[in-house]
């Protein structure tokens, strides 16, 4: 589905989606096609499901968006990890 279709099918909802077709331009990630995994009234419930799915398969490209937004904007940032002093 395209984002415009998701917004029509799930008005005023948080949606957990998986990117099916996406590309990076500069530091922005553009999701051209997505599959809706589930929809929620609030982001907290969406995060619970996201964390479970991500723990089982961290290679899936999962996102949470609210359908009130006209566009999906994803800014890529490198993960620096956690540094500990020994």
Per-residue model confidence as pLDDT tens digits over 2-18:
999 999 999 999 999 99
- Burial zone of 43 (CB within 10 Å; 0-12 exposed, 13-18 middle, 19+ buried): middle
Name the phi and psi angles at 75, rounded to 5. -105, 125
Looking at residues 34-54, what average pLDDT do you find? 97
Q: Within 10 Å of residue 62's Cβ, how many Cβ atoms?
A: 18
Determine the pLDDT at residue 61.
96
pLDDT above 70 for 36: yes
Q: What is the pLDDT of residues 52-71, one digit of tens each?
A: 999 999 999 999 999 999 99
Determine the pLDDT at residue 11.
97
pLDDT above 70 for 84: no
């Amino acid at each position: 589905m395209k984002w415009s279709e998701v917004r029509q099918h799930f008005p005023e909802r948080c949606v957990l989606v998986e990117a099916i077709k996406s590309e990076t331009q500069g530091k922005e990630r553009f999701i051209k096609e997505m599959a809706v995994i589930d929809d929620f009234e609030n982001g907290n419930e969406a995060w619970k499901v996201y964390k479970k799915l991500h723990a089982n398969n961290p290679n899936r490209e999962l996102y949470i968006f609210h359908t009130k937004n006209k566009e999906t904007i994803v800014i890529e940032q490198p993960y620096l990890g956690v540094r500990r002093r020994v």
